[in-house]
Amino acid sequence: MRITIFGTGYVGLVTGTCLAEAGHEVMCMDVDSNKINGLMNGIVPIYEPGLEALVKQNVAEERLLFTADPAEAVGFGTLQFIAVGTPPDEDGSADLKYVLSVADTIAEHMQEYKLIIDKSTVPVGTADRVSEAIAQRLHQRDVDIPFDVCSNPEFLKEGSAVEDFSQGARIVIGCDSPRVEPLMRECYAPYNRRQEKLMFMDIRSAELTKYAANAMLATKISFMNEISNLAERLGADVENVRRGIGSDPRIGYSFIYPGCGYGGSCFPKDVQALARTATDVGYEAQLLNAVESVNYRQKASLFTKLSQALDGDLEGKTIAVWGLAFKPNTDDMREAPSRELMEAIWAAGGKVRAYDPEAMQECRRLYGERDDLALAKRRDDTLEGADALVICTEWKAFRTVDFRRLREQLTTPAIIDGRNLFNPESVRAAGLLYFAVGRADSL
């Protein structure tokens, strides 16, 4: 099949590359011509395990093409995936300007039937808006060309995006035309061999499914953070509580790790957008609003604990920060807890010496050169003479530490661990102060 993908971010590039790997002919289009030029030369703009090798291989085999030319992109595929960003608008709702701009581009250039597939996360009713926008533009062009719009939300996670796309639990497709199902079956046939993964449903349910999934996961995180805040005040250890509840199969172990709050490009904006959708239909989404405010408080807790450890005085202090990405195995720093922490440190007159295995370039891009930010080449280069250490991301490489050596390197011997990486007794036995999440003496 010939397939066009609009947007070469985490979702678009992974979708395009995986579909090419599955044997389709794919053309990826982006308005960012730097990205496209790089990709044409084998430079993958994001870090995602396994992606670079797949891009190079499929480019070499000429199944994966890149273009910045909209007419060429529209002319290429019968299937036209929209995988552009849907950032939050000022009122929290999803901003659809990129999605609608792609709809306009497709309608401007299409000469024959196209199936437009919405892969971006978009509010319920967006497929209707995309349809209307295309119909209007075709009318202006005074042409009558058939098309369908369907919803195919994406559930991949950054950090394991290639694996998730190839081995995802389900492929949700919302459609209302008999022309769509056979085309989508053909597109996803390579992923639908062992068991039936395709779930066809009406478009509005498909659109809501994506928000419901993210809101559910965010709710689990905020719930566990709420329990951890209680544990801290009650002298309990949330890690014991986690094991205790996770063993119940009705609850399960996944997504119940306490921490310093969720970040990334999806949970914060999707919870907000769903709450906003609720308001628009006259319903107050009490639970969603609480999930968001618990998360907001949790992200701020890293700085609160750091400040307590340093007796409220950060002026001129240097803080070692391990982990900048919002989670391991990605370079994405959107809404990352590290950002809130660093910005609070700077506002209090402190300096940051940070390390992350993948997100250093992204950090440089976001904050540029500044006197109060040093990026260390290695994890342990952050430590010598630092006043305290804060851990924001649970990279594997942060789990093994020589606490006695660390005790000698830090001026104030304090670790603020936003991810509960260590055994509190081992840390404290080395003479360090240890402030974790939801564990005794962590307040």
Q: Which residues bind ligand NAD (CB under 6 A)?
A: 6-12, 29-32, 35, 83-86, 98, 101-102, 120-121, 154, 156, 158, 265-266
Angle at 278 between CA 222 and CA 220, to 5 degrees: 15
3-state secondary structure of 16: helix
Nearer to ligand NAD, 30 or 148 (CB): 30
| Alpha helix positions (H), 189-285 | 203-234, 238-246, 267-280
- When the beta carbons of 47 and 398 are compared against ligand NAD, the nearer one is 47
Among residues 28, 150, 260, 266, the one annotated as catalytic is 266
CB of 335 within 8 A of CB of 402? Answer: no
- Distance between CA atoms of residues 428 and 390, nearest Å: 16
Strands (E), 323-361: 351-355
Tokens of 285: 């989404």
Q: Which helix (H) or strand (E) holds 132?
A: helix 126-141
Which residue, 34 or 111, has its beta carbon nearer to ligand NAD?
34
Give buried/exposed letters for 374-393 (b at 16+ CB in 10 A, else e).
Answer: ebbeebbebbeebbbbbbbb
Q: Which is nearer to ligand NAD, 123 or 350 (CB)?
A: 123
Q: Distance (Å, rounded) from C-alpha 7 to C-alpha 265?
A: 15
Per-residue tokens: 231? 């544990």
Minimum gap (Å) between residue 153 Cβ and ligand NAD = 7
Closest to ligand NAD by CB, 10 vs 367, is 10
Q: How far is the CB of 119 from ligand NAD (least distance, A)?
A: 6
Q: Residue 397 Cβ, how far from ligand NAD at the closest point, in Å?
A: 22
Taking the complex as a whole, how short is the minimal distance between the CB of residue 4 and ligand NAD, in angstroms? 10
Residue nearest to ligand NAD (CB): 9
User: In this complex, which beta carbon is closest to ligand NAD, that of residue 10 or of residue 303?
Assistant: 10
Other Cβ atoms closer than 10 A to 33 = 11
294: left (phi over 0), alpha (psi -120 to 50) or beta: alpha
Shortest distance, position 373 Cβ to ligand NAD, whole Å? 24
Report, in Å, the least distance between residue 86 CB and ligand NAD.
4
Q: Determine which helix (DSSP H) or strand (DSSP E) holds 414, and give its type and residue range.
A: strand 414-417
Q: Which is nearer to ligand NAD, 106 or 306 (CB)?
A: 106
Residue 64 CB, nearest distance to ligand NAD (Å)?
Answer: 16
Six-digit token pair at 360? 């250093």
What three-state secondary structure class fits 177?
coil
Tokens of 246: 């996770």
Largest interatomic CA distance in the chain: 78
Q: Considering the complex, what minimum distance in angstroms separates the CB of residue 266 from ligand NAD?
A: 5
Q: Are 81 and 114 in contact (CB under 8 A)?
A: no
Active-site residue, 175 included: no
What per-residue string of b and e applies to 295-319 under the rule 16 or more CB within 10 Å gives b?
beebbbbbbebbbebbeeebeebbb
Q: What single-letter amino acid sits at 294?
A: V
Distance between alpha carbon 417 and the CA centroid of its chain, in Å?
22
CB of 225 or CB of 265, closer to ligand NAD: 265
Using alpha carbons, select from 129, 161, 134, 130 the residue that is nearest to residue 145.
134
Which positions are annotated as active-site residues?
A: 266
